Amino acid sequence: MAVVELTNVSKYYDQLEVLKDISWSLEQGQTLGLFGHNGAGKTTTVRLILGLTGTSSGQISVLGKQGGGIDAHREIGFLPENVMFYPQLTGREILTYFARLKGASIGQVNDLLEQVGLASAAKHRIKTYSKGMRQRLGLAQALLGEPKLLILDEPTVGLDPIATQELYELMGKMQKQGTSIIICSHVLPGVEPFINQAVILARGQLEASGKLSELRQQADLPVKIIATGLSLPINHYSIMAHKELAHQCHEFSVQDSNKLALLEQIIKGSPQDVEIKSPSLADLYCYYMQRAGALGAAGVQ
Ligand SMILES: Nc1ncnc2c1ncn2[C@@H]1O[C@H](COP(=O)(O)OP(=O)(O)OP(=O)(O)O)[C@@H](O)[C@H]1O
């Protein structure tokens, strides 16, 4: 059974159709990246999944319940894009308060503060926290009650590089434990190793959805082979594009199916080094945005 399933979902705000006939599903234990340019409809999708707003047409089921996650809210952890907490309370007080609201064990509070690196700041008031510390507290709040579905909206905003890496590793750990995760992010390179499904929205329409491997296959983008220190020029039928990146450093674009044949030729040229670059998530994102004619609107880093 799908943990989240959208079937022909459309959403209007007054006359404006911001989601158009969207269908996709998330299976248990998978991590799905929800991507799109600014205004593509990601937050609206998240609000629908949380049950904070209703669909204009179509169905949405979350953890087996129809109509969004409001009836399943104890099983959902949510980290909003802009976390805001009452500034006079301490980190521990906030987390205890949310644990009570959610019916989660108060015993989890200290463990979670430890897990997000806030144990030593737990007794300090939120007004003294930096943006990154508030974000870490927001993450601890989302993890209360061991949610079956975790929704993270731009979770790395404000986090330093180490905290960002820790967040991704935590996501990996939760996924192994069977938690299903939806992550909205514009920071594609960081998130790529941790997701196995993606949904790409462009101007409210579903431009692509599925496993990353399927999106790669569908896009059929060329592989890049970078060779340095070649002693012979390379002329091969399979080369789609060639750039000299620096002195004796050549980049060849080739269809995946021709990669080995070209490599064989390159090796004959006695290179000092060879690097093979498969299309990244950012490459895929740009491909699908371009296909949708929405590249100008894209907010990708
Ligand atoms: N409450 C609302 N009333 C009217 N229009 C809205 C409302 N919320 C969002 N919109 C519009 O719906 C569209 C989708 O917005 P949404 O916030 O879902 O995009 P997003 O993909 O999350 O963007 P971003 O990456 O900038 O956060 C935008 O055109 C936005 O202006």
pLDDT given at position 297: 60
Residues 44 and 109 both lie in one domain: yes
pLDDT given at position 301: 36
Range of the domain at 208: 2-216
User: Do the beta carbons of residue 11 and residue 44 sit within 8 Å?
Assistant: yes
pLDDT 10s digits, 189-233: 888 888 989 999 999 999 999 998 899 888 989 999 999 998 888
Q: Is the model's pLDDT at 28 over the cut of 70? A: yes
Residues 140 and 191 both lie in one domain: yes
pLDDT 10s digits, 124-153: 999 999 888 898 899 999 999 989 999 999
**Residue type for position 21:** D
Would you say the pTM of this structure is higher than 0.80?
A: yes
- Lowest average pLDDT, out of 12-16, 131-135, 225-229, 238-242, goes to 131-135
Instruction: State yes or no: ipTM above 0.85.
Output: yes
Q: Is residue 300 a part of any domain in this protein?
A: no
Whether the CB of 41 sits within 6 Å of ligand 1:
yes
Confidence of residue 160 (pLDDT cuts 50, 70, 90): confident
d(CA 83, CA 162): 20
pLDDT given at position 69: 61
pLDDT given at position 273: 95
CATH number where 163 lies: 3.40.50.300
Out of 197, 216, 235, pick the residue that ends a domain: 216
- The neighbouring-strand residues paired with 78 are 151
Residues 207 and 264 both lie in one domain: no
Q: Is residue 294 a part of any domain in this protein?
A: no
Residues 72 and 94 both lie in one domain: yes
Q: Is residue 118 a part of any domain in this protein?
A: yes
Residues 195 and 231 both lie in one domain: no
Q: Which ligand 1 atom is at minimum distance from the Cα of 201?
A: 21
Residues 250 and 196 both lie in one domain: no
Which of 11, 18, 185 is the best mutation target for the ligand 1 pocket, counting ligand atoms within 8 Å of the beta carbon and taking the most?
Answer: 18
Whether the CB of 43 sits within 6 Å of ligand 1:
yes
Residues 112 and 227 both lie in one domain: no
Residues 151 and 24 both lie in one domain: yes
Which string of b and e fits 40-73 if b means at least 16 CB within 10 Å?
A: bbbbbbbebbbbeeebeebebbbbeeeebbeebb
CA of 38 to the centre of ligand 1 (A): 8
Q: Is residue 46 a part of any domain in this protein?
A: yes
Residues 133 and 34 both lie in one domain: yes
Q: Is residue 15 a part of any domain in this protein?
A: yes
Whether the CB of 301 sits within 6 Å of ligand 1:
no
- Lowest average pLDDT, out of 81-90, 195-204, 287-296, goes to 287-296
Q: How many domains does the chain have?
A: 2
- Nearest residue (by CA) to ligand 1, atom 20, is 39
CA of 80 to the centre of ligand 1 (A): 14
Whether the CB of 154 sits within 6 Å of ligand 1:
no
Residues 233 and 206 both lie in one domain: no
- Nearest residue (by CA) to ligand 1, atom 25, is 38
CA of 39 to the centre of ligand 1 (A): 5
Confidence of residue 103 (pLDDT cuts 50, 70, 90): confident
